[in-house]
Structure 1
Amino acid sequence: MSVNDELTSIQRCLDDLFRSMGRLEQQIGKGGLELRRLRSDANHLRESLALLREAAPGLAQPRRPDLVTIPDTPYDNSLWTDSDDEGLGAHDRHAP
């Protein structure tokens, strides 16, 4: 597995841990020292994983390109006067 795959696997495990802790807290309550310590340790693991992702070379999340708004207004037809209809062939020629 690649480093990125391993980090993603750890992230999934941490997410499962947090879900399990939430269910456990619903069953026995949040007030116990042991559960508070477990929650604190799990939060430290999550923070450490985030730091590791930032520090790992070449693992920065790919940046999404900025979205470009395309207007609904029609294009100026004079833009297309010197081009052929792509895929349809030229007006004065026929397919073999």
Structure 2
Amino acid sequence: MSLQDELTTAQRCLDELARTIGRMEREVGGGLEIRRVRSDTEHLRESLALLRASVPRPRDGALGGALDGESPPDVVIVPDTPYDSALWAGAEDEGLGAPRDRRTP
């Protein structure tokens, strides 16, 4: 199940919870306990809405097609030719340890 499906399922569950609390409120009245449960349910709704807004929307296609009028992502072409070796002059190989003439910290 995708993340979007999970979020939709959570939204449906929260909607059902709100309906159930409404029915319970009609039966037991509007006491402190039921008001707290209703308030907690509303906080969950707000939190889920914030979560939904922060999750990136899925894209169509392998390269991520455009949705809702968005422009498609730019394609960057990487040449097969080797980079200029002067670009790497003076650089150390990270992760391979210090050179033989130097001690590691």
TM-score, scaled relative to structure 1: 0.59
> Matched residue of 2:6: which SS?
helix
> Matched residue of 2:9: which SS?
helix
Q: Give the equivalent residue in structure 2 for 1:7.
A: 7
Deviations 1:4-46 (A, max 9, x none): 000000000000000000100111111x111111011000000
- For 1:56 and 1:35, locate their aligned partners in 2 and report how far apart those are by CA, in whole Å: 32
Q: Percent identity among equivalent residues?
A: 59
Give the aligned CA root-mean-square deviation in angstroms: 1.7
TM-score, scaled relative to structure 2: 0.54
Q: Give the equivalent residue in structure 1 for 2:47.
A: 48
- For 1:63 and 1:44, locate their aligned partners in 2 and report how far apart those are by CA, in whole Å: 29
Runs of 4+ aligned structure 1 residues displaced above 4 Å come to none
* Residue correspondences, number: 61
- For 2:68 and 2:25, locate their aligned partners in 1 and report how far apart those are by CA, in whole Å: 37
Task: Give the residue type in structure 2 aligned to 1:26.
Answer: R
2:32 is the alignment partner of 1:33: yes
> Matched residue of 2:39: which SS?
helix
Deviations 1:69-91 (A, max 9, x none): xxxxxxxxxxxxxxxxxxxxxxx
Task: Give the residue type in structure 2 aligned to 1:50.
Answer: A
| Unaligned residue ranges in structure 1 (runs of 5+) | 65-96
| Unaligned residue ranges in structure 2 (runs of 5+) | 59-66, 70-105
